[in-house]
Structure 1
């Protein structure tokens, strides 16, 4: 099966986001083992932050990846898919770093939220553009 260049771009960003989610999941597991907490956060701030960093990524990433896949199917240019995928990936990574280090508002966390929203807005606008034949 021959894939379009945009489909290859979407596959790249889907794969990288899966790696990010796996890393965040492993960080939760490490904190659980370190603090002996099997369920919930056990009142451990580090574990709570790791859980939220993973949870927050799982709240945003799947929908965005669906958007990237549909953009690829709709014939969007690969560069557009790459730009949105990169901004989303950078945003989710920054947010996870900022949230994992502190429960407070941090520059990486704020920048991550902003980048994620920019990726969402760009994807939504592009999807609406490509929806019109």
Structure 2
């Protein structure tokens, strides 16, 4: 059995980060009268849904790449660089989507997120296992 301690840690932290994001959506939907679909043309709900949506659009592929990299023997330095960029980038992006007036935090967060999938992709291509 292959142990993936870095990927497991990063995935667990991201699951904890995801929980308040989804809870905020549920709370807002209930406050609006139990809106089940769409955003009821409510800016706050729309912002929460997009912050969560962006999170789930990037995190799964990044975790798959991180786990492949870890399973193929990448060093902890490479793994934590990619995993750390993912963690910090996703947290900054969510906070930026939910609270910031300026797009600057989201821009920084997206650059970090790009690194979190380009580093493993590059590493995997440079270190093929056959």
TM-score over 0.5 for the pair:
yes
* Structure 1 counterpart of 2:116, from 119, 126, 130: 119
Structure 2: runs of 5 or more not aligned:
none
> Distance in 2 between the 1:2 and 1:72 partners?
9
Deviation at 1:60, TM superposition (A): 0.1
> Distance in 2 between the 1:8 and 1:46 partners?
37
Provide the secondary structure at the position in 2 that maps to 1:108.
helix
1:1-133 pair list within 5 angstroms: 3=3, 7-36=4-33, 37-101=35-99, 105-131=102-128
* TM-score normalised over the length of structure 2: 0.90
Provide the secondary structure at the position in 1 that maps to 2:74.
coil
Per-residue CA shift, 1:2-25, capped at 9, x if unaligned?
73xxx1111100111111222211
Deviation at 1:123, TM superposition (A): 1.5
Deviation at 1:26, TM superposition (A): 1.0
* TM-score normalised over the length of structure 1: 0.88
> Distance in 1 between the 2:73 and 2:46 partners?
41
Which 10-residue stretch deviates more, 63-72 or 28-37? 28-37
Structure 1: runs of 5 or more not aligned:
none
> Distance in 2 between the 1:110 and 1:131 partners?
32
Deviation at 1:56, TM superposition (A): 0.5
Question: Contact (CA 8 Å) 1:72, 1:81: kept in 2 or not?
Answer: yes
Deviation at 1:38, TM superposition (A): 2.5
Question: Contact (CA 8 Å) 1:71, 1:130: kept in 2 or not?
Answer: no
Superposed CA RMSD in Å reads 1.7
